[in-house]
Structure 1
Amino acid sequence: MERVPVVDTYLDIDYDNLRTRGVTDKIVIHHTGNAVDDDLSAAEIDASHKGQGWTCIGYHYVIRKDGTVEQGRPHWTVGAHAYRHNSYTIGIHVCGNFEIGEPTDAQIESAAMLLANICTDYGLPIDRDHIVGHRELMSTACPGEYLYEMLDTIVGKANFYAAQ
Structure 2
Amino acid sequence: MTYSTLTTETVETSQKSGRENATIDMVILHHSATTNTDQVLQMMTSGSRRVSANYVVKDRRIVGVVPEEWRAWTSGGTTDGGKGAAFDRRAITFEIQNASNGGSWPVSAESHESVAQLVADFHRRYGVKLDRDHIVGHRELYTRWGASYATACPGGLEMDAIVKRAAELVAGGTPAPAAKPATPAKSSAPAFPLPAGSYFGPKSGPARSVSGYYSHREDLRTFQRQMIARGWTFPRYGADGLYGDELRDNVLAFQREKGLEVDGLVGPATWRAAWTEPVT
Matched residue, 1:60: 54
User: Which structure has the greater CA radius of gyration?
Assistant: 2
Matched residue, 2:42: 44
What's the Cα RMSD here? 2.3
Deviations along 1:88-147, one digit per CA (max 9) or x if unpaired, are 111111112575432111101111101100122111211111100000002111101x21
- Contact kept, 8 Å, 2:14 with 2:45, in 1: the verdict is no
C-alpha spacing 1:26/1:46, structure 2 compared with 1 (3 Å): same
Higher relative contact order (CA 8 A, sep 6+): 1
Structure 2 spans left out of the alignment, 5+ residues: 77-83, 143-149, 173-280
Query: What amino acid does structure 2 have at the position aligned with 1:69?
Result: I
- The alpha carbon displacement at 1:47 in A equals 3.3
- Contact kept, 8 Å, 2:53 with 2:94, in 1: the verdict is yes
CA distance in 1 between partners of 2:14 and 2:137 (Å): 28
Deviations along 1:62-82, one digit per CA (max 9) or x if unpaired, are 111x32111011111112111
Matched residue, 2:6: 5
Query: What amino acid does structure 2 have at the position aligned with 1:91?
Result: T
C-alpha spacing 1:72/1:21, structure 2 compared with 1 (3 Å): farther
Alignment coverage as a number of residue pairs: 149
Structure 1 spans left out of the alignment, 5+ residues: none
Matched residue, 2:113: 109
- Contact kept, 8 Å, 2:9 with 2:62, in 1: the verdict is no
Matched residue, 2:136: 132
C-alpha spacing 1:135/1:14, structure 2 compared with 1 (3 Å): closer
CA distance in 2 between partners of 1:69 and 1:21 (Å): 26
- The alpha carbon displacement at 1:59 in A equals 0.5
Please say if 1:157 is aligned against 2:157.
no
Which stretches of structure 1, 4 residues or more, deviate above 4 A after TM superposition? none
C-alpha spacing 1:69/1:142, structure 2 compared with 1 (3 Å): same
Query: What amino acid does structure 1 have at the position aligned with 2:18?
Result: R
Matched residue, 1:80: 73
TM-score by length of 1: 0.79
Deviations along 1:24-43, one digit per CA (max 9) or x if unpaired, are 1211000012xxx4232363
TM-score by length of 2: 0.48
C-alpha spacing 1:69/1:98, structure 2 compared with 1 (3 Å): farther
